A and B are shown apart, each in its own frame.
Chain A
Amino acid sequence: MYFKKEVIFGNPMVSTSYLPLLVLFLAALGFGLAPLGLAWLWAHLVSPPKPNRIKNAIYECGLESRGDAWVQFRSAYYLYAIIFLIFDVEAIFLLPFAVAFTGLTAGACLSMLIFVLLLVEGLVWAWAKGVLTWS
């Protein structure tokens, strides 16, 4: 069966124009991998690992580490995030809303009110939780 050469392999002039890209890609790969390979070879040749208990211990400025590093932190920060969202981010949305208010359709106005109400709900929740009282 006879096929035109260009149909199968594409235009030979077009395909060779990608060859420099391939060469560059391989060069870039070699540029990254060669130092890593050399470092690995070097380390295995002249620096065999000799681990021990003290060497593998956690570095703590020469002191022995005490206790567990997996301590839990109280994540009370979300309250500040909510308050920030209500008072700061809402203002950013309210400004274009106020500017374009006269030209808005009823649907757009309603959806914006729902958005504001959602944020107000957050404020009510925070108020009820006593976040706003400074102790």
Chain B
Amino acid sequence: MAVEPKLNIELGKQGVFVTSFNELYNWGRKNSVWPMQFGLACCAIEMIATTMARYDLARFGAEVFRPSPRQADLMIISGTVTKKMAPQVVRLYNQMAEPRYVIAMGACAISGGPFKQGYNVLKGIDRYIPVDVHIPGCPPRPEALLHGFMELQKRIAAQPLTGEGRPRHLDEEGMAEFPVPVQGAHDLEPSANKLVWPLPAPPVAEAAPKTGAEG
């Protein structure tokens, strides 16, 4: 943060607008996320409803669903990912322009959902690609997708351009290529991308109960 929030407000009252390059960049970025136009299952119907006039995703600058991954920032995994579809999804993710984001919409995209026991269902897309926002629900209502999208906007706004936590594409050692799984004899090979799965455990400090809570 280049300017302290209080000082920023005071300056704003005087009619002076101060910002940093990082903030300006993220402000532009978070308000022009272009999702990729593809739906996988019933969640896609809710996704389509979200873009229509009643829920109107255009309010957030994300109404431009692009039919090509080259022009898209955001991949909404809307529905069950079958093992037959997973390689295509991972390949499309690879072909998207950086910086790219993923929303896993619905129980199926998160974990396989009600079809988790199915022989042909991938048990969560984050086995292969990093997911930024998970939206539970079966299917999630359009409001839930909007909420998830706003959470993604918050994430984008908080992303620094340098140092720790900078986007992958600005990191020299950051992963650029996510291996596309192939159909093996019994399962996808590899069954998970070891670099993104299993997900890191939540920080201990958050999970631990507060010491002063009992008193």
Tell whether A52 pairs with B94 under 8 Å between CB atoms, given A46-B161, A59-B69.
yes
Task: Provide the bound-state CA to CA distance between A29 and B68, in Å.
Answer: 32
A55's partner among B87, B89, B94 (CB-CB below 8 A) is: B94
The A interface is mostly helix, strand or loop, or mixed, namely loop
Is B68 in contact with A54, judged by CB distance below 8 angstroms? Answer: no
Decide yes or no whether A47 CB sits under 8 A from chain B.
yes
> Could you pull out 14 A-B pairs where Cβ atoms are within 8 angstroms?
A46-B25, A47-B169, A50-B98, A52-B177, A54-B91, A54-B94, A55-B176, A57-B91, A59-B68, A59-B95, A61-B92, A62-B88, A63-B88, A63-B91
Decide yes or no whether B11 CB sits under 8 A from chain A.
no
B169's partner among A48, A53, A63 (CB-CB below 8 A) is: A48
Shortest beta-carbon distance from A42 to chain B in Å: 9
B95's partner among A46, A48, A50, A54 (CB-CB below 8 A) is: A54
Please, what's the 1-or-0 string for B10-27, where 1 marks a CB less than 8 Å from any CB in chain A?
000000000000000100
Residues of A within 8 A of B (CB): 46-48, 50, 52-55, 57, 59, 61-64
Is A61 in contact with B88, judged by CB distance below 8 angstroms? Answer: yes
Shortest beta-carbon distance from B53 to chain A in Å: 28
B68: chain A residues at CB < 8 Å are: 59
Q: Which residue of B lies closest to A61 (CB)?
A: B88
Is B169 in contact with A50, judged by CB distance below 8 angstroms? Answer: yes
Residues of B within 8 A of A (CB): 25, 68-70, 87-89, 91-92, 94-95, 98, 161, 169-170, 176-178, 180
A46: chain B residues at CB < 8 Å are: 25, 161, 170
Tell whether A50 pairs with B88 under 8 Å between CB atoms, given A55-B94, A57-B95, A59-B68.
no
Q: Which residue of B lies closest to A53 (CB)?
A: B177
Which among A48, A50, A52 has the greatest number of chain B C-beta atoms within 10 A?
A50
Extra contacts, 6 of them, besides A62-B91, A62-B95 (Cβ < 8 A), are: A53-B177, A54-B94, A59-B69, A61-B92, A62-B89, A62-B92
B177: chain A residues at CB < 8 Å are: 52-55
Is A54 in contact with B169, judged by CB distance below 8 angstroms? Answer: no
Q: Which residue of A lies closest to B178 (CB)?
A: A54
Q: Which residue of A lies closest to B167 (CB)?
A: A46
B91: chain A residues at CB < 8 Å are: 54, 57, 62-64
Shortest beta-carbon distance from A44 to chain B in Å: 12
Q: Which residue of A lies closest to B91 (CB)?
A: A62
Task: Provide the bound-state CA to CA distance between A55 and B89, in Å.
Answer: 13
Task: Provide the bound-state CA to CA distance between A62 and B176, in Å.
Answer: 17
Task: Provide the bound-state CA to CA distance between A68 and B187, in Å.
Answer: 30
B92: chain A residues at CB < 8 Å are: 61-62
A64: chain B residues at CB < 8 Å are: 91
Task: Provide the bound-state CA to CA distance between A115 and B137, in Å.
Answer: 76
Task: Provide the bound-state CA to CA distance between A53 and B176, in Å.
Answer: 10
